């Protein structure tokens, strides 16, 4: 489940946590979209537009004369750091001589540059506008071949689901500037490592295009249909397994192509009605998607192997609705590693497919999860054999639990089930290895070694396991992401907070160090890509409420063990602790399994607006079930969603309610997606005792209604765990009615958390005669609620509604 909540200036968040997306974006392509440079002269005029809705007047400035944070700031990117995107390019000799070639775009011109040689410049594409067959076209994105002699140009992009699109593709020759057409309505196109061939998917069939021949040379599959997906995921695999639109992978030599054939024939359909797509529509448009709900048939996934030279296609593994294929990684030219779990993520199997022997499959590892579950990862990393470098055989690095915490393990040869443990301790490696330098045998990774609320960069050598070296400065709080050059000798280091972000290019194959420590304590800074000097100047004009991080003691678990949760609080401007029974407390929660919100990054978003404009204390608590604190902490919630997470929010509310400066009658909780569910479960469990108000956006209300892959990972199936599903459902409307008032909002076009959840909940309230709530529907909006100005309205509504609640304007009904 991905959190649909956005703090106006932040990107969508991933299911592992609403804040974890900051890390992922930096690791993949360092594409943190933070806006453009800010000038003081362009600052928006301050205003508070909510007076018309009955809110009390809020001063625009603090006592020291600085400006307060408002929605106008967020919507005009006043506090958005600038981030430069950089795409590292492949280089044949990068392992030994890493020149750090990267692709950059300036005013529509795509140029190859080198971080070492600032004078090096090679134009790949002069301009994004081009003419083909008499048509004027614009390349909306480009993908260069590994040798940079050809470029895939994508035009006419049409959005599909969260990660997938369709588009028209052309191949541009960077030498003679010729252009060849590949096809329209293509859903995926990938260069082969041989820089000649392109695998693409059209109408759910896989094809191979040759840039040398200038045409499609093979149709690999012929059975693609509305229910059979070759090379791309169906809805649930896209949303919950791959978190992307790719289910096709080239071998390292380009000799073989592996892909999934996903058959969703047995998956039940869910209809979604769209009401406002066209002004002249008098009947709603009905779109049906194959959506497997908990306990219903899943799609089946079959692993296909295609040999380019012989054009032989074979099936090497046929799964069924009880299995999930979660990852495929080529270990060299002929060996394919595949991860398979059962549908409830209890058991992980590692398969090795030998393409050179016709697709023979062996299973060197079968790993039970114990009391927890297997989270899906996508970072298994291949290490080729190199006797001179001490690597006696082929191998790979994987993420696996070591004493209850996720750590790196080196499997060599791939058939072994007894790896070399590279990292160990009561902390976690995040997602897996970030890069491997094959010249030095150093493995780089982001981890929580210093604190679970921070992310630092480390390295370990495969020949010196468990001897871990910090790359970033752990003497100061910090959250970093990183992307590495082709040879992993150079890195784009992104400092994400808690102070103002910056980016720098660092060389790590050196014994030299910076004279002034700023971020990295290992390696030499070549130059800053962005220092956000303009944002420093802007912030001098504002009194931005500060986040303070810490831990809360939330009582004891059923075994008598103390429950300690990470949290942060934001105190309002001109906070005065001597005031009695004064301050409202605005709790914001997500709380989904293995997620995280309490992370030390720089952000000025909705929480800061609430604190500034409503003179409220904002509190965010990562309770039991959240991630990056070890298996035991996240496994608390297995088979019992909504119970302990709600209890932890209530215990935190008790703590704040006992503070003398807090008004106990003005404690509220807000959440979106899983957070919306947690809000309702907390109000239900609390029955008005501590939380007086709640705001729930796009919530699950019954886990039988949510998709099988996500839900069953944490709850098993309804058939296996009927009592767990009954308890996890939002069902006690009478208890909910004990709150002073609550707000519910949902988009009717939500393909993720279906509008069905809110409708069922509303019916429950009607049957119980509960009336102390407000409801707002957003026609045709999906989970992020953005369609037809909806994102402006949803946040305005949230701020105005809770402002009215704190002002005592709501009279309880029923």
> For residue 151, what pLDDT is reported?
95
Evaluate if residue 400 carries a pLDDT over 90. Answer: yes
What phi and psi values does residue 767 have, to the nearest 5 degrees? Answer: -65, -30
The DSSP symbol for 309 reads: T
> For residue 94, what pLDDT is reported?
67
pLDDT, one tens digit per residue, over 519-530 is: 999 999 999 999
Of residues 9 and 497, more confidence is placed in 497
Evaluate if residue 536 carries a pLDDT over 60. Answer: yes
Evaluate if residue 88 carries a pLDDT over 60. Answer: yes
According to DSSP, the β-strands at 109-114 and 121-125 are antiparallel
Find the catalytic residue in 85, 211, 783, 784: 783
Using CA of residue 543, residue 549, residue 555, residue 559, what is the dihedral sign? positive
> For residue 225, what pLDDT is reported?
97
Percent share of the chain, pLDDT over 90: 86
As a whole number, mean pLDDT of residues 535-558 equals 96
754 is catalytic: no
Q: Classify burial at 66, counting beta carbons within 10 Å of its beta carbon; exposed 0-12, middle 13-18, buried 19 or more.
A: middle
- Domains of the chain, start order: 56-82+542-806 (3.40.50.1820)
> For residue 57, what pLDDT is reported?
61
Radius of gyration of the chain (CA): 27
As a whole number, mean pLDDT of residues 41-62 equals 50
pLDDT, one tens digit per residue, over 756-811 is: 999 999 999 999 999 999 999 999 999 999 999 999 999 999 999 999 999 999 97
Q: How far apart are CA 351 and CA 362, in angstroms?
A: 6
Q: 814 falls in which pLDDT band (50, 70, 90)?
A: low
Find the catalytic residue in 673, 708, 758, 781: 673
DSSP characters over 100-153: -EEEEEETTEEEEEESS-TT-EEEEES-SEEEETTEEEE-SEEEE-TTSSEEEE
Using CA of residue 451, residue 452, residue 458, residue 464, what is the dihedral sign? positive
> For residue 813, what pLDDT is reported?
65
Find the catalytic residue in 750, 751, 780, 782: 750
The answer to whether 373 touches 348, Cβ cutoff 8 Å, is no
pLDDT, one tens digit per residue, over 717-766 is: 999 999 999 999 999 999 999 999 999 999 999 999 999 999 999 999 99
Q: How far apart are CA 229 and CA 262, in angstroms?
A: 5
783 is catalytic: yes
750 is catalytic: yes
pLDDT, one tens digit per residue, over 565-609 is: 999 999 999 999 999 999 999 999 999 999 999 999 999 999 999
């Amino acid at each position: 489940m991905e959190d649909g909540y956005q703090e106006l200036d932040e990107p969508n968040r991933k299911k592992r946590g609403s804040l974890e997306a900051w890390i992922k974006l930096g690791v993949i392509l360092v594409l943190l979209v933070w806006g453009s440079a800010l000038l003081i002269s362009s600052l928006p005029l301050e205003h508070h537009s909510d007076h018309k809705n009955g809110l009390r007047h809020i001063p625009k400035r603090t006592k020291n004369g600085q400006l307060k944070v408002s929605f106008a700031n967020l919507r005009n990117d006043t506090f958005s750091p600038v981030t430069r995107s950089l795409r590292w390019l492949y280089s044949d000799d990068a392992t030994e001589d890493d020149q750090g070639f990267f692709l950059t775009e300036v005013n529509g011109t795509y140029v190859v540059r080198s971080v070492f040689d600032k004078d090096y410049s090679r134009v790949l594409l002069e301009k994004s506008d081009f003419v083909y067959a008499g048509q004027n076209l614009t390349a909306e994105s480009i993908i260069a071949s590994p040798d940079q002699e050809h470029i895939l140009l994508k035009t006419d992009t049409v959005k599909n689901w969260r990660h997938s699109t369709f588009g028209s593709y052309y191949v541009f020759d960077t030498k003679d500037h010729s252009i060849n057409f590949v096809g329209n309505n293509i859903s995926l196109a990938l260069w082969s490592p041989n820089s000649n061939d392109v695998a693409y998917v059209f109408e759910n069939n896989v094809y191979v295009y040759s840039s040398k021949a200038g045409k499609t040379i093979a149709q690999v599959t012929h059975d693609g249909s509305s229910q059979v997906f070759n090379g791309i995921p169906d809805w649930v695999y896209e949303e919950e397994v791959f978190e992307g639109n790719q289910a096709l992978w080239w071998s390292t030599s380009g000799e073989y192509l592996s892909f999934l054939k996903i058959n969703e024939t047995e998956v039940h359909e869910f209809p979604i009605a769209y009401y406002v797509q066209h002004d002249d529509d008098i009947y709603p448009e009905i779109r049906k998607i194959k959506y497997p709900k908990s306990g219903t048939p899943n799609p089946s996934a079959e692993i296909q192997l295609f040999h380019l030279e012989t054009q032989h296609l074979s099936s090497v593994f046929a799964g069924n609705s009880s299995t999930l294929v979660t990852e495929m990684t080529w270990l060299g030219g002929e060996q394919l590693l595949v991860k398979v779990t059962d549908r409830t993520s209890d058991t992980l199997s590692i398969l090795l497919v030998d393409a050179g022997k016709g697709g023979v499959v062996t299973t060197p590892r079968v790993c039970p999860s114990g009391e927890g579950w297997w989270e899906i990862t996508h970072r298994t990393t291949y290490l080729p054999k190199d006797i001179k470098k001490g690597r006696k055989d082929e191998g790979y690095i994987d993420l696996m639990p070591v004493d209850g915490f996720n750590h790196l393990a080196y499997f060599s040869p791939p058939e072994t089930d007894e790896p070399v443990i590279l990292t160990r301790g009561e902390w976690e490696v995040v997602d897996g290895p970030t890069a491997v330098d094959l010249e030095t045998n150093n493995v780089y990774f982001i981890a929580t070694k210093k604190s679970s609320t921070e992310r630092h960069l480390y390295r370990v050598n495969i020949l010196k396991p468990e001897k871990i070296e910090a790359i970033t400065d752990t003497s100061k709080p910090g959250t970093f992401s990183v992307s590495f050059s082709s040879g992993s000798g150079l890195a784009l280091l992104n400092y994400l907070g808690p102070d103002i972000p910056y980016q720098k290019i660092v060389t790590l194959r050196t014994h030299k160090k910076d004279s002034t420590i700023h971020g990295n304590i290992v390696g030499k800074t070549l130059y800053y890509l962005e220092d956000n000097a303009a944002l420093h100047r802007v912030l001098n004009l504002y009194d931005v409420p500060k986040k303070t991080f810490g831990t809360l003691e939330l009582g004891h678990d059923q075994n008598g063990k103390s429950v300690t949760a990470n949290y942060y609080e934001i105190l309002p401007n001109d906070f005065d602790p001597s005031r009695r029974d004064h301050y409202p407390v605005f709790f914001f929660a997500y709380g989904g399994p293995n997620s995280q919100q309490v992370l030390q990054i720089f952000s000025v978003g909705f929480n800061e607006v609430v604190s500034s404009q409503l003179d409220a204390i904002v509190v965010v608590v990562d309770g039991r079930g959240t991630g990056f604190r070890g298996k035991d902490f996240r496994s608390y919630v297995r088979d019992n969603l909504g119970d302990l997470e709600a209890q932890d929010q209530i215990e935190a509310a008790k703590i704040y309610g006992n503070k003398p400066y807090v008004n106990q009658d003005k404690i509220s909780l807000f959440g979106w997606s899983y957070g919306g569910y947690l809000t309702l479960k907390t109000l239900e469990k609390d029955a008005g005792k501590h939380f007086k108000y709640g705001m729930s956006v796009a919530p699950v209300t019954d886990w039988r209604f949510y998709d099988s892959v996500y839900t069953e990972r944490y709850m098993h199936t309804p058939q296996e765990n009927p009592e767990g599903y009954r308890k996890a459902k939002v069902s006690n409307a009478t208890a909910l009615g004990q709150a002073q008032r609550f707000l519910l909002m949902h988009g009717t076009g939500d393909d993720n958390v279906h509008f069905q959840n809110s409708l069922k909940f509303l019916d429950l309230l009607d049957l119980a005669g509960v009336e102390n709530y407000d409801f707002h529907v957003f026609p045709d909006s999906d989970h992020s609620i953005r369609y037809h100005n909806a994102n402006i309205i949803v946040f305005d509504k949230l701020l105005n509604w809770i402002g009215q609640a704190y002002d005592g304007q709501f009279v309880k009904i029923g």
